[in-house]
Amino acid sequence: MKPDVRARILDLAATYPTPKAALLTALETVQQAEGGHLSTDSLSEVAALLGVPLGTVYATASYYTMLNLKPVGKYHLQLDTNIPAMLAGAEDLLAHMEQALGIGVGETTSDGLFTLSAVEDLGACGTCPVLQVNDRYYENMTPACFDELLANLKQGVVPEWKTEGNWGTECNMLLARRGKPNSTALAGYVADGGYQALEKALTLSPAEVTQMVKDSGLRGRGGAGFPAGVKWGFLPKDSTKPVYLVCNADEGEPGTFKDRQIMEFDPHLVIEGMAISGYAIGAKLGYIYIRGEFAWIADILERAIAEAREAGKLGNNMLGRGVEFDIRVTRGAGAYVCGEETALIESLEGKRGNPRLRPPYPAVSGLFGCPTIVNNVETLSSVPFIVREGAEAFRQIGTANNAGPKIFGVSGHVKNPGAYEFPLGVPLAKVLEAAGGVVGNLKAVIVGGLSTPILTAEECRDLTLDYDTCAKYGTGLGSGGIMVMNDTVQIPAIALRTIQFYAHESCGQCTPCRQGSVAIEQMLHRVVEGKGTPEDLDNVLHLCKTIKGNTLCPTGDAFSMPIEAMVGKFRGEFEALLPKAGADLAV
Amino acid sequence: MDLKNPSCDTTRAPVSQQGGVCTLPDLEAPKVTVNIDGIDVEVVSGTTILEAANQIGVKIPTLCQHPDLAIAGVCRMCVVEVEGMRTLQASCAYPITGPMTIKTQSRRVRQARRHILDLLLRKHYGECYACVRNGVCELQSLAEEYGVDFFRFGHPTEPLYEVDTSSYSVHRDMNKCVLCRRCVRTCVDLQEVGVYEAVGRSNQTRIETFLEKPLADVVCINCGQCINRCPTGALRANDPSDEIWAAIDDPTKHVVMQTAPSPRAGIGECFGLEPGHALTFEMNTALRRCGFDKVFDTNFSADLTIIEEGTELIIRLKKALVDGDADVKLPQFTSCSPGWVKFIEHFYPEYLEHLSTAKSPQQMFGALIKTYYAQLTGIDPKDIVTVALMPCSAKKFECNRPEMVDSGFKDIDYGLTTRELGAMIKEAGIWLPDMPKSDFDDPFGTATGSGVIFGATGGVMEAALRTVIELVAGQKVENFYDHADIIPVRGFDGVKYAEITVPEVGPVPDLLKDLVPSWDFLKGATLKVGVAHGTANAKRVMEDIKAGGIFSQCHFIEFMACPGGCIGGGGQPIPTSPAIRAARAKAIYSEDAAYEVRKSHENPAVLKIYNEFLQDGPCSHLSHNLLHTHYTPRGKFIS
C-alpha cells in the first residue's frame, strides 16, 4: 500500500470514535488507488491498519457490489438493467454491447480493457439507459452512442458526456435554482437568499426550530412519510452522549432519482437544511451517506461543504454565533439495503449494511450507540424554507395532512422522463402531463418506487399524489418514483425483474427475505419461461403473505407487497404463460 | 473490576463479558402483565416475549437464539402475533414494556413457522441418517415438531460446497448451514477470535473464513465453541473413533485411554441424564468393555502439571526476587488449554515467554505412557496407542503438533471428545448409566481432588495455590482456607483477581531443595493471581497487561479458552448454556470434595514417579525433555 493511501486511511480513522468505522471508506480508497480491485495483500493491510479481524474485512468487502475482489478491466462498463432501464430499452443495448465487445456479462475482454457488468438501478431512471464507466455516468445511452464511447475508450479517451435531464417545477423550492448557471457555488446561493434561514434559526432556540418543523407538517420524503418534527422529538432529553444527524442520500429505490437533483444542482440547500436541523436536535456533526455510484455528486457536496466551512456557515462557530456543526460525506459502495436507516448506520460504522433489530430505534441508540436522527435529502432540503417563511407558508403548499412540495421522478413510457416538483396532492395525470404525456396506451403505473404496489390504468385514473390518498388506493407514495408502463409491457416480466432485484439486494440476514425472495424468483422464473404451474402462483401469493411483516427490516415488505399486487391484479397474464393441460412439462 | 484498556466492544454486549452468565433481570424495574395465548403472566418490564412465554410453559420455537449469545432475530422462527401490530414480531427480540396480548400459535403464526422451515430446508443439504447430529439436531426437531410434510420450496439434491476437513479439530460442512449465525456470534462476540463471518449477501450469503481459506489456514484456535452452538451438523469435530476402533481390533496394539475430568461430568448428557451427573467410574467399566486395554486418569498428570508448573513459577519468582534477573517473564501464564495456547500464539506472540513451558496434562501423560509405562510393562512403545478423552476439540490439534513427539513417538495418538466417546459407547451397545463402577488402572490409578477441578475455570489456579501455599508456608492450606476450598478463584466471573499473602515460610521440601535453598524471599510476600475464561476475557486481561494494569502486576494467571473452562469445552455434549456449565462445574467440585487426597503434591503416584523415573525432580533435565515444550509465534494476519 502506498504511504499516502496509508496516511489517508489513518487520518480518516482518527476522525471516528473507533478506527474500525473507517473500514468501508478505507476499502474504497485502496481499491481506487490500486487499480480497481482489492488484492489479498491490501485486505490484510487494511485489517492490520484498522485492527479489524481479517474475516470481518473480507465479509465487508464481499457485501458491497462496488468493491471488487477480483481484477476488473481498465474500464468497468456497468449497465443499469433495472425496470426503468428495461422500459427504456436497456435489454437491447446490453445485447448490442455484448456483441460490440465480444464478451458476455461478467467477463473481461482479453486485452484487459473492458469488463462488462449488468447492474441494478443507478439512480438515473429519467435518463435511462445509463452506463457507468468506472466512476462516471453516461446517460441516455443508445447503441450508436455506445459505439462512439467505445471508440473513444479504446483510444484511451474518457469523454465528457453531460446529459441534462428533463425537469420542471411548480413550487420553485427544491428545484428553484436548478436552471441557474453555476448553481452549486456558495455566492449564487447566498445571492438568492441562501443561509438566511440558518441566520434566523440561530436566533431561535432549538426547541422553537423543532416546533416550527413540527407545525409545518413536513413528512419524511424517504418513503415512509413519517412526520420529521415528531421523529426529532424521539431523541432522549437527558442523554449525555453526542447526537448525530445523518442525511440519507443513498437513493437506490428503482424509479427514484430525486435527491440527486437537489444535491447535484443545489448542494447548499441540503447543507443549510442540515445545519438548521443539526442545531435543532443538538448535533455537532452530521453525515451525508451518499450512494457510492454518485461519486461526482459526492465531490460536489464535499466542495460545497468546504466552501461553506470556509465562509463560516459550518464549523465550530457557525455564523459567528458560537454554535458548532459540521458535515462529513461518506460514500456507500453499492447496497440497496443501506437506504434503510439502521443498515445505513451500520454502513456508516464501516460494517456490512445489515439492518439492526429495533428497538432500540436510532433516535435512542443509533450511530456509535448514540442518539441519531436519519432524514432524507429532500426532507432536510425543505427545512430552510420552513424556517425562513414559517410553518404556515409551508402548509399552504399541498393538502391538509400532506404539506409541502415533492419531487416526482417520472420514468418509463412518457415522452419527457424527468424530475418534476409539484405540491403534494397533485393529480397523477398532471404530473404525467408535465412529463410530456404517456407514450402509447397506459397499462399500469408504479407511483412510489419499485417497493410500492402497482396500479392499473383504471385504478390510477383519479389518483392524487400524497401519502394518504396513495395509501387509500392500496399503494404508497414512497419516494415518488413514478414508473409508467404502456400496453407493450408484460407484467410477468416486470414481476420477475422486480424479484430479481430484491433477491440480489437482500442483505441475507433473515430467512424470509433471503430465502423467500429467491424462492419467489425461482417460481416466477418458471412461470415466465412457460414451465410454471398454478401451484407456483398460489405459493408465490402464500409466501408473500408470510413474508409481509415478518422480516427484520422493511425489505420483505418492499418485495412481497408489489409482487402480491402484480400477481393479484394481472393474474390472467401469468396464467396465460402456464403450459396448457396435457403439454409436455419436461421441455 | 477496573481494567485498563478494556478492548471489548460493548455495543453487542456478548455474554462472555458478563462471565458467561446472563444478567439477572432488574428487580427494580416495573412489572407488566401480558396475556399470552389466554394466560396472564406478570413479568419485569424489559423481559422478552420469549422469556415470558417460557415462564408459563408456552413453547415458542427458536433457532438463531442461544443463551450465550447476543440476540440476532434473524431466523424468524420465533415470530408471534401481537394484538394491534400489523407485523409479526420476533419474540426473542421483543422486550415487553407495557400490557399486550400475544398469540403464539394462531393460524398466521403457524403458517409463518411452516414457511420459514420450508425456506430453511430449501438450502439445507444432507441426509439425516448419515449426520453426526441425527437425533440431536435442532433443525430436525423443528421440522418434526412444526409439521414439515414436504419440501414446498424445493430441497437440494446435491451438495453445493466441499466439506472442509483441513483442520485437525473442526470440520465444516456448509451444505448443512442454515445461516443462523450462531457460530459467527460465538467466534466474533463470545470468543473474539473472528474467524467466521457472514460473507456475500442475499441468497449467496455464506458463513466463511477470510477469503474462504480452509480452517487450518486461518487464525482458528480450535476451541470448538462454534460446534457447541451450531444447531445442525454443519460444524463438527474431527472424529477419530474409526481409527480407535481399528486399534482396539488390532491384537498387536495396546490401547491406552486417559480420561480428563470434564468428560465424566458431561457424558451422562449423551445418555439423557440431567447435566451434573458425574459417571466417572461407570465410564471406566464401559471403556474396558469397549476394549481399551488400560484406563488412566488424566488427573494424575494434572497433578504432575501442578508440580512442574508450580516449580517453574517458583523458579521464575526466585530469579526475579532473589537473583534480580530482569529478563524473567512474569506473570507466568498457564499452558494447559490448547485453545488458549493457539490464541496467544496468534494474537499476542510477543508474550509467549510468559507461557509456562509445562505441557498440558494430556501431553505429559502421553509422553510418560510411551516411556515410563512402556519400560514398566515391557511393552514396545510403538505398539502403544494413546487415546485421550477430552472435553476439547483443540486437544486434537495439540496432539498433532509436530513438537509433541518427545517420547520418540507421537505422544498422544488420538484426542477423543466426550460426544465421540458417547457415540462409541452407544455403538458398543452399552447403556452407560447402567454400568457397574470400576476404578482406574495402576500405576497411575490414584488421583487427587486438585486434578479434578482442572475442569472448571479457576481450578488450575486453585490446585496450584493449594500446593504452593502448603509447600511454601510449611503448614496445611486448610489453616488459611476452610476445607482447602480457595473460593476467591472459583466462580464464573469472566475475569478474577486474587491476592494471597504468605505470612510465614516453612522449610523447603526435599523435592525442591536443589532449586531453592530457602523460602525467605517469599516471607510476607503477596502472591497476586488472575483467572480468565473464554478468549474474550483472556483478551481483556492481555490488553490490561499491555497497558500496565492490575494484571501486569500478577505472578500467575490461569487462562482457559472456553467459557466456564474445560467443562464448557468444544468437545462436550450439545447443547451448552450457562446453567448446564454451572451444573457440570458443581459435579466436579463435589467430586473434589469427596477425594481423600486433594492436593497434587500429596498424590502418591506423582511422588512415586519422581522417585523412580524423574529422579532429578521437577523442571530437571529429563522432565524438560519429556514434560515441557516450546511455542510457535503465529501471525494474526495470514495472506
Mutation target vs B (from A54, A340, A504; most B CBs, 10 A cutoff):
A54
Sort out which chain A residues have CB atoms less than 8 A from B205's CB and list them: 508-509, 514
Q: What is the pLDDT of residues A122-131, one digit of tens each?
A: 999 999 999 9
Average pLDDT of A547-568? 96
What residues does A289 pair with on adjacent strands? A248, A330
What proportions of chain B, in percent to the nearest 5, are helix, strand and coil? 40, 15, 45
Average pLDDT of B62-70? 96
Residue in the block written with cell 443509533? A366
Q: What is the pLDDT of residues A520-549, one digit of tens each?
A: 999 999 999 999 999 999 999 999 999 999
Instruction: Let me know if residue A586 belongs to a domain.
Output: no
B131-137+150-237 and B308-361+447-627 have identical folds:
no
**CA-CA distance, B52 to A13, in Å (whole number)?**
43
Of A377, A396, A415, at which residue does a domain stop? A396
Q: Are residues A89 and A57 in the same domain?
A: no
- Write the DSSP symbol of residue B472: H
Q: Are A457 and A444 in contact (CB under 8 A)?
A: yes
pLDDT at A381 over 80: yes
Q: How many CB pairs under 8 A join A and B?
A: 152
Q: What is the pLDDT of residues B226-257, one digit of tens each?
A: 999 999 999 999 999 999 999 999 999 999 99
User: Could you tell me the residue range of the domain that residue A453 belongs to?
Assistant: 399-486
Sort out which chain B residues have CB atoms less than 8 A from A47's CB and list them: 637
CB contact under 8 A, B637 and A54: yes
* A-chain residue closest to B48, CA distance: A359
The pLDDT, as a whole number, for residue B543 is: 97
pLDDT at B288 over 50: yes
Sort out which chain A residues have CB atoms less than 8 A from B76's CB and list them: 510-512, 550-552
The pLDDT, as a whole number, for residue B447 is: 78
Catalytic residue, candidates B403, B478, B499, B612: B403
Instruction: Let me know if residue A163 belongs to a domain.
Output: no
Q: Check whether the bond before A362 is cis (ω within 30° of 0).
A: no
Distance from the Cα of B488 to chain A's closest Cα (Å) equals 34
Instruction: Let me know if residue A375 belongs to a domain.
Output: yes
Q: Are residues A309 and A369 in the same domain?
A: yes
Average pLDDT of B144-163? 93
Indicate the pLDDT class of residue B445, thresholds 50, 70 and 90: confident
What residues does A244 pair with on adjacent strands? A285, A372
Indicate the pLDDT class of residue A580, thresholds 50, 70 and 90: confident
pLDDT at B635 over 50: yes
Instruction: Let me know if residue A268 belongs to a domain.
Output: yes
Catalytic residue, candidates B180, B290, B336, B562: B336
Structural class in CATH, domain B253-300+362-434: alpha beta
- What proportion of chain A, given as a percentage, has pLDDT over 90? 96
B398 catalytic, yes or no?
yes
Instruction: Let me know if residue A159 belongs to a domain.
Output: no
Mutation target vs B (from A546, A547, A551, A552; most B CBs, 10 A cutoff):
A546
Q: Are residues A219 and A303 in the same domain?
A: yes
Q: Are residues A259 and A239 in the same domain?
A: yes
Q: What is the pLDDT of residues B105-140, one digit of tens each?
A: 999 999 999 999 999 999 999 889 999 999 999 999
Instruction: Let me know if residue A584 belongs to a domain.
Output: no
CB contact under 8 A, A514 and B203: yes
pLDDT at B293 over 50: yes
pLDDT at B184 over 60: yes
The pLDDT, as a whole number, for residue B530 is: 97
Q: Are residues A318 and A433 in the same domain?
A: no
Indicate the pLDDT class of residue A583, thresholds 50, 70 and 90: low
List, as one string, the DSSP characters of B200-252.
Answer: S-GGG-EEE-GGG--GGGSS-----HHHHH-SSTTEEE---HHHHHHHHH-TT
Mutation target vs B (from A20, A44, A62, A361; most B CBs, 10 A cutoff):
A62
Indicate the pLDDT class of residue B27, thresholds 50, 70 and 90: low
Q: Are residues A232 and A340 in the same domain?
A: yes
Q: Which amino acid is at A358?
A: R
Of A63, A92, A114, at which residue does a domain stop? A63
Q: What ipTM did this prediction achieve?
A: 0.93
B395 catalytic, yes or no?
yes
Residue of A482, A492, A472, A467 whose CA lies nearest to A569:
A492
Sort out which chain B residues have CB atoms less than 8 A from A59's CB and list them: 197-199, 208
Q: Are residues A436 and A516 in the same domain?
A: no
Q: Are residues A457 and A342 in the same domain?
A: no
Q: Are A366 and A231 in contact (CB under 8 A)?
A: no
Catalytic residue, candidates B78, B270, B566, B619: B566
The pLDDT, as a whole number, for residue B3 is: 53
Indicate the pLDDT class of residue A582, thresholds 50, 70 and 90: low
Domain ranges, ordered by start, for chain B: 131-137+150-237, 253-300+362-434, 308-361+447-627
Instruction: Let me know if residue A585 belongs to a domain.
Output: no
Q: Are residues A403 and A320 in the same domain?
A: no
The pLDDT, as a whole number, for residue B16 is: 39
SS3 state of residue B183: helix
CB contact under 8 A, A511 and B638: no
Sort out which chain A residues have CB atoms less than 8 A from B88's CB and list them: 549-550
Sort out which chain B residues have CB atoms less than 8 A from A550's CB and list them: 76, 79, 87-88, 112
Distance from the Cα of B634 to chain A's closest Cα (Å) equals 15
Of B154, B181, B202, Cβ closest to residue A505: B202
**CA-CA distance, A240 to A233, in Å (whole number)?**
16
Q: Are residues A257 and A384 in the same domain?
A: yes
CATH superfamily of B308-361+447-627: Fe-only Hydrogenase (Larger Subunit); Chain L, domain 3 (3.40.950.10)
Distance from the Cα of B473 to chain A's closest Cα (Å) equals 46
B336 catalytic, yes or no?
yes
- Write the DSSP symbol of residue B40: E
The pLDDT, as a whole number, for residue B25 is: 53
CB contact under 8 A, A514 and B75: no
pLDDT at B20 over 90: no
pTM of the shown model: 0.94
Q: Are B146 and B180 in contact (CB under 8 A)?
A: no
* A-chain residue closest to B64, CA distance: A510
Residue of A255, A267, A218 whose CA lies nearest to A88:
A255
- State the pairing for strand pair B101-103/B79-82: antiparallel
Indicate the pLDDT class of residue B7, thresholds 50, 70 and 90: very low
Q: CB within 8 A of B21, min separation 6: which ones?
A: B15, B492, B578, B582
Provide the domain count of chain A: 5
Sort out which chain A residues have CB atoms less than 8 A from B639's CB and list them: 40-41, 44
Angle between helices A90-101 and A143-154 (to 10 degrees): 30
Structural class in CATH, domain B131-137+150-237: alpha beta
Q: Are residues A146 and A241 in the same domain?
A: no
* A-chain residue closest to B114, CA distance: A546
Q: What is the pLDDT of residues B312-365, one digit of tens each?
A: 999 999 999 999 999 999 999 999 999 999 999 999 999 999 999 999 999 999
- How many Å separate Cα B151 from the centre of its chain? 38
CB contact under 8 A, B76 and A512: yes
Indicate the pLDDT class of residue B8, thresholds 50, 70 and 90: very low
Q: What is the pLDDT of residues B571-596, one digit of tens each?
A: 999 999 999 999 999 999 999 999 98
* B-chain residue closest to A506, CA distance: B202
The pLDDT, as a whole number, for residue A497 is: 98
Q: Are residues A359 and A390 in the same domain?
A: yes
Q: Are B44 and B109 in contact (CB under 8 A)?
A: no
Q: Check whether the bond before A579 is cis (ω within 30° of 0).
A: no
- How many Å separate Cα B460 from the centre of its chain? 13
CB contact under 8 A, A352 and B219: no
pLDDT at B11 over 90: no
Indicate the pLDDT class of residue A584, thresholds 50, 70 and 90: low
Sort out which chain A residues have CB atoms less than 8 A from B202's CB and list them: 503-508, 514, 517-518
